[in-house]
Structure 1
Amino acid sequence: MPPTDASTDASTDADTTPVADQGEPAAPPENPDCQDTLDLRLPDELLALIVEQDGSGSADGTDSGHRSTPAFTGATQHDLLDDVGEWGPVTTPSGVFQLVPARIERDLKLISRWMNDPAVAAFWELAGPETVTAEHLRPQLDGDGRSVPCLGVLDGRPMSYWEIYRADLDPLARHYPARPHDTGIHLLIGGVANRGRGLGTTLLKTVADLVLDHRPPCARVIAEPDIRNTPSVSAFLSAGFRFSAEVDLPDKRAALMVRDRALRTVL
């Protein structure tokens, strides 16, 4: 679990997109996909990783080559998230959006600049020289593919930073009733001009839909924004997530947000 907040509009101004009534959904059908019950069976991927680490240690991954052109492509190495870089672009009400896996050589300067924005740093706690951001990115890029850091590219421009991760294989799973293939998301909006106008809500819904479309075994998309980050929590609610619980994590008290596949067309 990255020591970060799943921040959307990380400024103190609330998202101006109207928030739907957050009362109880009207008699949703009973479905095991939307029940927060504990599944004690270890995911197959986790069992395989345990065997691999016991036998041969972790693999050494490397970064892709430097791209000097402004074009962004989605070519990636294999991951445990059904190849995020191959999910492709989608059309949203705000423009054409695509998740592009991050590369140190190409993207470090930009992501570090975003992390040093005071409104972002208040929740992500990664302000400082570029080495701070690099040390946060590298374990994900060199890891086993359970977390994929990405740029969010809107109409050809990088404007947000995302982490798509296997919540069931993350330390977060110790703090809530995780189920196999639960997929988590972290988000920050990079530019001040893109905050506070509902864009976070639009993109959260878009990315949650991408997860559910491209990861058939995943029944739930999970997020855990800092409970103090009201704009972020509001954006998740407006994007069809439901508030499940408050959870005490090592670095924050979080609002556990869940978007259920079974309720995808209801909320």
Structure 2
Amino acid sequence: MRLTEELLAPRGDGAAGAAAHGDAFGPAGDPAAWQPVTTPAGEFELVPVRLERDLGVITRWMNDPAVAAFWELAGPESVTAGHLRPQLDGDGRSVPCLGVLAGRPMSYWEIYRADLDPLARHYPARPHDMGVHLLVGQVANRGRGLGGVLLRAVSDLVLDNRPRCARVVAEPDLRNTPSVAAFLSAGFRFSAEVELPDKRAALMIRERAHRTQL
């Protein structure tokens, strides 16, 4: 890990402190209740995944070679279902969603409590840090700046609907240069290189204070 001043600061207790940090989402912060937003690419909203409705399309996206190289979930629907079910049946600290742009599902998101996630063992987590994972599921939507537009919209949604959250974090694979670039264009800053169990990641952070300056 490449240390910055931020990573030398006292860290939170991460996943072990779930009880102290309260519930994961709560009614006011449930993505299902978040309103659609207008983006330069059209109206966008997060729709929580329903396995019976969405398993097929998410499986197709996971089997796209450009996605499979980083998500490592290629295979039959049972593999995708095995990734989704623990979130859907869990305590709400991670919510899988479809990103629907102009009425069309075109991306997959995971909105999660980063301070209650295993990620918190690898960076100085603060209470109520939120995290995002993203894949753009259609080739036609890649390579034209759409990822950055949507990441900005989603991080705005998180900050608007989670008043106790001061930071949105992400940990894209360092090898995934387009993903890192999309986070940068969405107002995230590169904080550190972090060695995770399955990858070397770029720790990206977008702070509420920074949003007010945009």
Deviations 1:229-252 (A, max 9, x none): 000000100110000000000000
Structure with the bigger percentage of strand: 2
> What amino acid is aligned across from residue 38 of structure 1 in structure 2?
P
**Equivalence map 1:1-267=2 (5 Å):** 37-40=9-12, 46-47=18-19, 79-80=25-26, 82-266=29-213
- CA distance in 2 between partners of 1:227 and 1:79 (Å): 29
User: Displacement of 1:47 after TM fit?
Assistant: 1.5
User: Displacement of 1:82 after TM fit?
Assistant: 1.3
- CA distance in 1 between partners of 2:165 and 2:131 (Å): 10
- CA distance in 2 between partners of 1:188 and 1:199 (Å): 11
Deviations 1:106-160 (A, max 9, x none): 0000000000000000000000000000000000000000000000000110000
* C-alpha RMSD of matched pairs (Å): 2.3
- CA distance in 2 between partners of 1:232 and 1:38 (Å): 29
- Gapped regions of structure 2 (runs ≥ 5): 1-5
> Which of the two has higher C-alpha Rg?
1
Deviations 1:49-71 (A, max 9, x none): 99x9xxxxxxxxxxxxxxxxxxx
- CA distance in 2 between partners of 1:44 and 1:132 (Å): 28
User: Displacement of 1:266 after TM fit?
Assistant: 3.2
Higher RCO structure, 1 or 2 (CA under 8 Å, sep 6+): 1
User: Displacement of 1:263 after TM fit?
Assistant: 1.0
- CA distance in 2 between partners of 1:89 and 1:45 (Å): 32
The alpha-carbon distance between structure 1 residues 129 and 49, as it changes in their structure 2 partners (threshold 3 A), is farther
- CA distance in 1 between partners of 2:76 and 2:15 (Å): 38
User: 1:151 touches 1:159 (CA, 8 Å); kept in 2?
Assistant: yes
Secondary structure of residue in 2 paired with 1:226: coil
User: 1:104 touches 1:134 (CA, 8 Å); kept in 2?
Assistant: yes
Bigger mean CA offset, 80-89 vs 164-173: 80-89
- Of all paired residues, the percent bearing the same amino acid is 73
Secondary structure of residue in 2 paired with 1:149: strand
Alignment size in residue pairs? 208
User: 1:38 touches 1:179 (CA, 8 Å); kept in 2?
Assistant: no
- CA distance in 2 between partners of 1:130 and 1:108 (Å): 7
User: 1:226 touches 1:255 (CA, 8 Å); kept in 2?
Assistant: yes
Which residue is 1:17 aligned to?
none
> What amino acid is aligned across from residue 121 of structure 2 in structure 1?
R
> What amino acid is aligned across from residue 133 of structure 1 in structure 2?
T
User: Displacement of 1:48 after TM fit?
Assistant: 6.3
Deviations 1:177-216 (A, max 9, x none): 0000000000000000000000000000000000000000
User: 2:48 touches 2:97 (CA, 8 Å); kept in 1?
Assistant: yes
- CA distance in 2 between partners of 1:145 and 1:129 (Å): 25
User: Displacement of 1:40 after TM fit?
Assistant: 3.7
User: 2:36 touches 2:43 (CA, 8 Å); kept in 1?
Assistant: yes
User: Displacement of 1:42 after TM fit?
Assistant: 6.8
- Gapped regions of structure 1 (runs ≥ 5): 1-34, 53-77
